Structure 1
Amino acid sequence: MNLDVRSDDNCHLWAEQSGSGPPLVLCHGGPGLWDYLDPVARLLDDRARTIRWDQRGCGRSQRRGPYSVARFVADLDAVRDQLAGPRMALLGHSWGAHLALRYTIEHPERVSHLIYVSGTGIDPERGWHPHYKRNLRLRLGHHLDRWEALSARTRTPEEDREQAVLQWSADFADHGTALRHAEGMATPWLGINYDCNQAINAEVKQELSNSEMAVQCRALDLPVLIIDGTEDIRPRWAVDSLHQALTNSQRVSLAGSGHLPWVENPHDFRRTVTTFLTQHSRQTLSQVHREPPDPR
């Protein structure tokens, strides 16, 4: 079901929901991309009412700014308020994992569970990006020359899509299926918002260098699941400090999968997420039942 969410500054945000059960809101990566998490929704929609949305300026949402982390947190809160209700489970992928974490830090009472998929952590000192760039070039193999040629010039829309497909192919562990999976991500092609990408990435870099996110993460007491693919070209040690800072977290690495683990290891991805949601929902319900009655 396609839906229209209005932000508090009247920006139209595309959203879609499916399935039944407790609300689970999905945050796509990028920044500057559109929702590509329909396969995740289909894996989980017998256990949750999944809600997907295109971030402001991206995909089917209204193409307008401002592009800032605070603005995207407010937009996510509008999605929660209008579609999910007072409390939701939250799953974010890549940049969307950082957005979901930031939202949870600011509104912990509105999040029941946080699922952090293929994020890049909170520690700016260890410098994961040079490792990513080196691994990207290695994974591209014989496509490297074409990718570099496209990256170095102004591209037509067709070339923009080609460059993205080649780059995204490196996010999959299996070379035999990587291009096909990347083509699927780029279909339909809704155009990358590079202004959004540059603004958000610059702010996140500055935010991590100046903020005390580790301290803020230690204050969270809600359950967090961190999921990594063992073959992700973004080094997974970048997430170590986040895992250590979270007091109620578990971390699962899915074998044989890259940056989108639900694509290459859907069985274990579904099992891990549904087990986490079910287990912690029961614990939360048990805690509620143990609370003393309100003496009114």
Structure 2
Amino acid sequence: MRVRPGQTALMIWTGSESETESVTVTADDGVRLWASRSGRGVEPLLLCHGGPGLWDMFEDVAAMLADLATVIRWDQRGCGRSERCAGPWTTDRFVADLDAVRRHFGLRRITLLGHSWGARLALAYALAHPGRVNALVYVAGTGIGPYTDWHPAYEQNLLARLGRNPEHLARWHELKGRAQLTEEEERERALLQWSAEFADPERGMAYARRMADPWFGVNAECNTSLNAEVKRAADVHRACQALAIPTLILDGAHDIRPRSAVDSLERALPHVRRVTLPDAGHLPWFEDPQGFRQAVHDAWA
């Protein structure tokens, strides 16, 4: 099944929706985190959203997996519905926050699904606490090699994808060049950039608008700090080689981040399976919801 023009993934999966319980989780340093629980499945699945500096956009994913798992979503510190705070903005701090979410819901072991930056966070958690993770689903991440292995190509691909609509590209350059933006201009710049994340140019902007609804604003300080940390990240090849957790690497073939960057992680992990959805970009559940659901379902098989 594919999404038809004008549809989003959630419209396909309305029959799997269930009641959502929203809660406040208090981290060990007192910062309050927004979290929610939904789904009717027995297995706990904890989702880690992308960014950094964004918020949970997994409503569609939670709906499509509601019969497979009890789905836990959360907004990372300082982002979205979580308490605005002064950080700290480090992977170690976010790993501790993720563990606070696990404890709040009384979960001894979890399956983790992380997307983009959230895939890096989920992997970091699995490396820090392997005894608490049943399986890892690593969606649209960028591997464990050097930042320079993928980021220059990503920038070139972003400009090329935006260039499918010259007006969008010109406006994106204009907004990117400004020192300060209004909230509406910040949202507009995000929409333009996010539209390039999708393989289908006709639906990209509609998908981007869904990502931005509701709009909580990007935490720029969080984004800058954690991206700087990514650039100087330590080599974790040896730790990944010792990771006994079953891992699914799930990609969209049209992701503007080169998928070859993830080869480093695939080679390092001893228990890994990789699925590439041929018609999808960086957020594969939008463009191939059936393929995405099947791949995640098979991760439990």
TM-score normalised to the size of structure 2? 0.90
Q: Is 2:298 the partner of 1:275? A: yes
Are 1:229 and 2:229 counterparts? no
> Is contact 2:144-2:235 (8 Å) kept?
no
State whether structure 2 residue 209 is matched by structure 1 residue 180. no
- Paired residue secondary structure (2:215): coil
Give the deviation of 1:69 after TM superposition: 0.8
Larger radius of gyration: 1
What residue identity is the alignment partner of 1:90?
L
- Name the count of aligned residue pairs: 275
**CA shift for structure 1 position 206:** 1.0
Does structure 1 residue 85 correspond to structure 2 residue 107? yes
- 1:22 is aligned to 43
- Asked if residue 123 in structure 1 is aligned to residue 123 in structure 2, the reply is no
What SS does the aligned partner of 1:52 have? strand
CA contact (8 A) 1:117 1:226 kept: yes
1:155-181, Cα deviation, whole Å (9 max, x unpaired): 111000000000000000000100000
Deviation per residue, 1:13-42 (Å, 9 max, x gap): 000110021110000000000000111111
Residues in 2 aligned to 1:66 and 1:259: alpha-carbon distance in whole angstroms: 28
Query: Displacement, 1:126?
Result: 5.2
Equivalent residue for 1:110, pick from 132, 135, 138: 132
Residue type at the aligned position of 1:244: R
1:45 aligned residue: 66
Secondary structure, aligned partner of 1:175: coil
Alignment of 1:3 with 2:16, yes or no, is no
Say if 1:23 and 1:84, in contact at 8 Å, map to a contact too.
Answer: no
SS in 2 for 1:184: helix
Question: Aligned partners of 2:59, 2:106: CA distance in 1, in Å?
Answer: 17
Please state if 1:138 is matched with 2:164: no
Unmatched runs of 5 consecutive residues or more in structure 1: 280-296
Residue 160, structure 1, aligned to residue 183, structure 2: no
Task: Structure 2 unaligned segments of length 5 or more: list them.
Answer: 1-20
Match of residue 92, structure 2, among 64, 67, 70 = 70
Rounded to whole Å, the distance in 2 between the matches of 1:126 and 1:67 is 22
1:199 matched to 2:225? The reply is yes
Deviation string 1:85-111 (CA, Å, 9 cap, x unpaired) is: 110000000000000000000000000
The residue aligned with 1:95 is 117
Cα deviation, residue 212, structure 1: 2.9
> Between the two proteins, what is the percent identity of the paired residues?
55
Q: Distance in 2 between matches of 1:18 and 1:84?
A: 15
| Contact 2:45/2:72, CA 8 A, preserved across alignment | yes
More helix by share: 1
Q: Which residue type is aligned with residue 243 of structure 1? A: E
Q: Look up the equivalent residue of 1:127 and give its one-letter code.
A: D
1:12 aligns with 2:32: yes
- The equivalent residue for 2:174 is 149
Q: Deviations over 1:87-144 (max 9, x none)?
A: 0000000000000000000000000000000000100065211101110011012211
The 2-side partners of 1:88 and 1:100 are apart by 11
- Counterpart CA distance in 2 for 1:119 and 1:57 is 22
Q: 3-state DSSP class of the match of 1:39?
A: helix
Distance 2:67 2:147 in 1: 41
Q: Which segment is superposed worse, 136-145 or 235-244? A: 136-145
The structure 2 residue matched to 1:254, chosen from 274, 277, 282, is 277
Counterpart in the other structure of 2:12: none
Please tell me whether the aligned partners of residues 29 and 95 of structure 1 are also in contact (alpha carbons under 8 angstroms): yes
- Paired with 2:240 and 2:149, the residues of 1 have a C-alpha distance of 20
**Deviation of residue 43 (structure 1)?**
1.0
Q: 8 Å contact 1:25–1:84 — kept in the other structure?
A: no
Q: Structure 1: which 4+ aligned runs deviate by more than 3 Å?
A: none
